[in-house]
Structure 1
Amino acid sequence: MKKHQHKHDYEQESADYYNQIAEKFDHTFDGFLSGFFKRFIVKHLELADAMSVLDIGCANGTLLSMLAERAKIFGTGLDISEGMVQIARKLHPDFTFQQGSAEVLPFQDATFDVLTCSASFHHFPNPSEFFAEAGRVLKSDGRLVIAEIYIPVVTRAYNWRIRRFNTEGDVKVYTPAELAELFAENGWRIVKRKIFLQIQYYELKKM
């Protein structure tokens, strides 16, 4: 007898979940955890004034605001959750925020110097589509920054649990080896890599 497989619409699940917690995001466990990734990006990413930065999975816009303390950037945020986008617009009127999918970016070619993904990549159902879009909207020398969770010992068990029970739009947690393979397959090379406690951090350029 065939086992019933729960079919996920990951983008819809993410949108529904983050719409529910948008108002109180900073006071949720998700908001608390995401702070570590944001601070790690701010510490390691080199920025210059007048750079254009796109934050994908921007939630309430906090990362852009933190980066703007380091350099005078032109910030744009994209999130699958309309609720999050509305909050971000209220909190950070200096930046532009849009609702949309990471796999169909609503921006013109060669628009951004830097594209950041802070603890959001594991929500993307089709990474290859995301990588193609990221390459399209980045300028020729642009950088793609991915900060993701690192749970070396229990990755397989964690992913089994996600597939069975998760309703928050999580697709999969990746090992560094899996990410390195994904990057290479999709035409990206790693120019900076750091692993610290539960964070893996990559800066990528198009090959």
Structure 2
Amino acid sequence: MLHQHPGGIALTKRVIDYCAFFPGAKVIDVGCGTGVTVEYLCDTAGLQAVGVDLSRARLEEGKKRSPGLPVLQAAGEDLPFADACFEGGIAECSLSVMQDPAKVLAEFSRVLVLGGKLAITDIYVPDSENTSGFFYRRQLQKMLAEAGFTVITWEDQSACLREFVASYIMADGDRQELWQCVSAGTKAGYFLLVAEKLQREG
């Protein structure tokens, strides 16, 4: 089965290792899709995870696969949770497609405790002139700082993106649509970062 984001569960495991959550920590996955990562976090990593996504169809697909899966329909820009109620947050290849990524980061900051970890994997372009709609590194670091986060780990994981594209094409996916999503005519890469919430929002 094709993983729903570059790197799949192997990259998710790397993220969790970096975050070093304590057993039973509460973690939110924003843009969770069908909840594959949420299922892994709960059943394998021993965390209390919940996922949110705007797509009702994707959430229902996840619940068909795993009844009782803790996922709900919500926007990343308006999370239906109290302040400081999670020890961690994850956004796997979802932040760049949100309508307002800065607002999503502000919401992560609001729902995470001080010292909470935020892990993001996503597409980026290495150039400072970003006309593709993807992030460039300085842009994302600025948004994170404005939301009260400091980056503690950054890795280029572009090999995961190349493998994902190759697997998608071999599985007879829509090549044109995928190419528009992951490259848009630019030299796109893929990154993993972990940030820590060190300030109160505002």
> Same fold judged by TM-score > 0.5?
yes
- Which residue in the other structure is 2:100 paired with? 126
- How many angstroms does 1:125 deviate by? 1.9
The percentage of counterpart residues that share the same residue type is: 23
- How many angstroms does 1:92 deviate by? 2.7
Task: Check if 1:143 corresponds to 2:117.
Answer: yes
Structure 2 unaligned residues grouped into runs of 5+: 159-188
- Which residue in the other structure is 1:206 paired with? 197
Secondary structure class of the residue paired with 2:7: helix
Mapped to 2, the partners of 1:133 and 1:92 lie a distance apart of 27
Mapped to 1, the partners of 2:194 and 2:78 lie a distance apart of 21
Are the counterparts in 2 of residues 176 and 200 from structure 1 also a CA contact under 8 Å? no
Give deviations 1:46-94, integer Å, cap 9, x for gaps. Answer: 3332111111100011112233454211121100101111112222335
- Which residue in the other structure is 1:188 paired with? 149
Structure-to-structure mapping, 1:156-167, within 5 angstroms:
156=130, 159=132
Task: Check if 1:58 corresponds to 2:49.
Answer: no
Mapped to 1, the partners of 2:148 and 2:14 lie a distance apart of 26
Mapped to 2, the partners of 1:38 and 1:156 lie a distance apart of 29
Secondary structure class of the residue paired with 1:104: coil
Give deviations 1:5-35, integer Å, cap 9, x for gaps. Answer: xxxxxxxxxxxxxxxxxxxxx66xxx55x14
Mapped to 2, the partners of 1:152 and 1:69 lie a distance apart of 36
Mapped to 2, the partners of 1:116 and 1:54 lie a distance apart of 6
Mapped to 2, the partners of 1:185 and 1:137 lie a distance apart of 15
Question: Aligned match of 2:82 in 79, 96, 108?
Answer: 108
Mapped to 2, the partners of 1:50 and 1:81 lie a distance apart of 27
Mapped to 1, the partners of 2:85 and 2:69 lie a distance apart of 15
Alignment RMSD = 2.3
- How many angstroms does 1:108 deviate by? 1.5
Mapped to 2, the partners of 1:85 and 1:72 lie a distance apart of 21
Are the counterparts in 2 of residues 75 and 95 from structure 1 also a CA contact under 8 Å? no
- Which residue in the other structure is 1:87 paired with? 61
Are the counterparts in 1 of residues 105 and 143 from structure 2 also a CA contact under 8 Å? no
Question: Aligned match of 1:175 in 126, 136, 151?
Answer: 136
- Which residue in the other structure is 1:164 paired with? none
Mapped to 2, the partners of 1:91 and 1:49 lie a distance apart of 25
The residue type paired with residue 190 of structure 2 is I
- How many angstroms does 1:133 deviate by? 1.1
Structure 1 unaligned residues grouped into runs of 5+: 1-25, 160-171
- Which residue in the other structure is 1:16 paired with? none
The residue type paired with residue 192 of structure 2 is Y
- How many angstroms does 1:41 deviate by? 2.6
Structure 1 stretches of at least 4 aligned residues deviating more than 6 Å after TM superposition: none
Mapped to 2, the partners of 1:110 and 1:182 lie a distance apart of 20
The residue type paired with residue 66 of structure 2 is H
- TM (normalized to structure 2)? 0.72
Secondary structure class of the residue paired with 1:192: strand
Report the CA distance shift for 1:37/1:152 in structure 2 as closer, same or farther (over 3 A): farther
* Larger CA deviation: 39-48 vs 188-197: 39-48
